[in-house]
Chains A and B, each alone.
Chain A
């Protein structure tokens, strides 16, 4: 029977020392997470700008920025494009490709599997500007690789099919995480279940659906949650299309950047950042609900 003191202090180092241990972490979180978040909320209720009179003397305008954003067709457009981007490249693209690769690579020789995984990982760990530059070369109008391969030289892929290009790009870029996660998830599926399915004459798809999926459902949800949030906040589209042509690929992070730094509307952009944060929280809550429902 542990004493009350041991209950309150299971590590036995005393409250002061415990606080000492977590203080550095709390400080970092406070400085780099809590403070910027509060700061963004605060700027979001002002008309603060980068230049002009409102930069010298910003006024608090209450919820104006938020109502303006919700009525702004650019914001609506951006919200739709972000949803499209997340659905196409993360929920469907990275998930499906990651799982397919993990499933197919299960039984191949280790050397081949490591090589494929290596290439997929490379796409993930290369710095954004390097990757953007490579894709520029692939999608360029002047002798770009894709145009030459498809015998359609002179096609400006990033201008004519901006969202499709971004979705393919981000699927390529982010699949590694799903691949790794599913590879380890599949290892946890009991071989006896797969064997039973095989003996029962299940097709490949039936095996995945009825024997594998129930085991990895939690992994699927966690993976989808993480990659959805990353994709919704991803700024790399700016490097490829800068939101163009004519706002056709202006996902929310790009819109926020352009409003804040190109148009100098810091207050307005902060309000939109807060809305993006709320959107992310809602998505996260939905996933957590689903996860809990499973348990």
Chain B
């Protein structure tokens, strides 16, 4: 018996040393290697999620990079680890990869995860992983606007290179608007204006007038495509003066908006609770069954895109309209704005566990060269990280030009803090409560309690 106790204690002691360790890396290791193997990890998969990005990596990046390396006498093998998962699942997978000392050498992350990954030690400043001189020497930095570079920074340090940015707007189906006798050239000026239009669309049989992401099943989409733009429309952002918004007037107004949409039959409450609700909302929009949908320009580029989208609309260019997201009433938006939006974007980081830090950074440089960024678009358009590329490619796409010219000047980014995901989860739960029938005041109260529990009393306002 005593021997068993000793064994148990020594095992526990061994374990105790294992949690949360990270090794110190040498940026120059394997810098002169002649045989190099690199892996790119992205949430993109051929024929599925972000198919265009996946094809680009497989058919353009890998052959060209290998060729460029061969010219230098380096025999490079680049693998592409494809994923076609929901954003939350991908995040979990990548976090586990980093945690266990594995993962691809170059990993694509959502910019908003940067803070928590950095604080966990999963990723490290580029200067530490690759070497400050190497990183600063890259000529691409001056092509990336500071605001966009901020997506790849945490605590004032560079962790990765942003992959572009986006903006959120109201997409609407012009065919449905025409059938409901509404003007197809539409721009709501206030929430009432928006809901009045939705009420008119309700007359169409089999059509849900509006989709504002809600509930926990939608994950971060609920926060980013629902709560945060609405909150910006009440004149505040979720993190102000060092504190998170608790049960403030703004949060209650947002929850009342959800109540008006989902308890008055303007949106489908069941869809918000389904396990694959967001994908279904895309399919329904493409099938002319949802009138208005708040989404990022990703929706235009990758969802209803006629050739490679996941919910293709052959008549996208004529059938899909877009409008700025109105503040609650004109002038009530954040910064006194009439219209609001939220933005985010991906970031490519170099895995601190990589065996070939220099070569991985070369790959990142290559991925972000003007030539590569342009080819990634494959004739399509997107608000990229590079101003030189944007000037050239956005001219051809009215939607994305709209985002670059009208949305980006009024948009807000999420606070890249480690506590943000907890706040986001609490906000999602609050909308889930309202959709399933609780009053906005009640939901706001539980939200406040959950928030205090998650981030501490001192970091919360309102209530």
Q: List, in ascending order, chain B residues with CB within 8 A of A57's CB.
A: 20
Task: Decide if B393 is an interface residue (CB 8 Å cutoff).
Answer: no
B266 to chain A, nearest CB (A): 18
Q: Is the CB of A52 within 8 A of B116?
A: yes
Chain A residue, CB-CB nearest to B217: A244
- B-facing residues in A27-63 (Cβ within 8 Å): 35, 38-39, 42-43, 46, 48-58
Q: Is the CB of B12 within 8 A of A38?
A: yes
From B88, B113, B119, B216, contact of A56 by CB (8 A): B119
Task: Decide if B15 is an interface residue (CB 8 Å cutoff).
Answer: yes
Q: List, in ascending order, chain B residues with CB within 8 A of A245's CB.
A: 215, 217, 273-274, 432, 436
Task: Decide if B194 is an interface residue (CB 8 Å cutoff).
Answer: no
| Complex interface: stretch among B66-74, B91-99, B315-323, B398-406 | B91-99
Task: Decide if A159 is an interface residue (CB 8 Å cutoff).
Answer: yes
Q: A160-B270, A246-B436 are in contact. Are A50 and B96 (CB under 8 A)?
A: yes
A260 to chain B, nearest CB (A): 9
Q: Is the CB of A263 within 8 A of B274?
A: no
Q: In whole angstroms, how far apart are the Cα atoms of A122 and B275 in the complex?
A: 26
Q: Is the CB of B273 within 8 A of A55?
A: no
Q: Is the CB of A48 within 8 A of B95?
A: no
From A43, A52, A262, contact of B120 by CB (8 A): A52
Q: Is the CB of B270 within 8 A of A246?
A: no
Q: List, in ascending order, chain B residues with CB within 8 A of A43's CB.
A: 19
Q: List, in ascending order, chain A residues with CB within 8 A of B217's CB.
A: 242, 244-245
Per-residue CB contact flags for chain A residues 226-246 toward chain B (1 = under 8 Å, else 0) read 000000000000001110111
Per-residue CB contact flags for chain A residues 141-166 toward chain B (1 = under 8 Å, else 0) read 10000000000000010111000000
Q: List, in ascending order, chain B residues with CB within 8 A of A49's CB.
A: 120
Q: List, in ascending order, chain B residues with CB within 8 A of A261's CB.
A: 92, 96
Centre residue among A39, A244, A246, A262 by max chain B CB count within 10 A: A246
From B15, B422, B432, B436, contact of A39 by CB (8 A): B15
Q: Is the CB of B116 within 8 A of A244?
A: no
Q: List, in ascending order, chain A residues with CB within 8 A of B273's CB.
A: 159, 244-246
Q: Is the CB of B12 within 8 A of A51?
A: no
Q: List, in ascending order, chain A residues with CB within 8 A of B422's CB.
A: 263
Q: List, in ascending order, chain B residues with CB within 8 A of A156's CB.
A: 270, 274
Q: List, in ascending order, chain A residues with CB within 8 A of B216's CB.
A: 244, 246
Task: Decide if B306 is an interface residue (CB 8 Å cutoff).
Answer: no
Q: A57-B20, A58-B19 are in contact. Are A50 and B92 (CB under 8 A)?
A: yes
Chain B residue, CB-CB nearest to A73: B446
B residues whose Cβ falls under 8 Å from a Cβ of A: 8, 11-12, 15-16, 19-20, 22, 88, 92, 95-96, 99, 113, 116-117, 119-122, 215-217, 270, 273-275, 418, 421-422, 425, 432-433, 436
Name 28 interchain pairs, CB-CB below 8 A, sorted by A.
Answer: A38-B8, A43-B19, A49-B120, A50-B92, A51-B116, A51-B418, A52-B119, A52-B120, A53-B120, A55-B122, A56-B20, A56-B119, A56-B121, A141-B270, A141-B274, A159-B274, A241-B275, A242-B217, A244-B216, A245-B436, A246-B215, A246-B273, A246-B432, A246-B433, A262-B88, A263-B422, A263-B425, A264-B95
A residues whose Cβ falls under 8 Å from a Cβ of B: 35, 38-39, 42-43, 46, 48-58, 141, 156, 158-160, 240-242, 244-246, 261-264
Q: A52-B119, A245-B274 are in contact. List 13 more A-B contacts (CB 8 A).
A: A46-B19, A51-B117, A51-B421, A55-B120, A55-B121, A56-B121, A159-B273, A242-B275, A244-B274, A244-B275, A245-B436, A262-B92, A264-B95
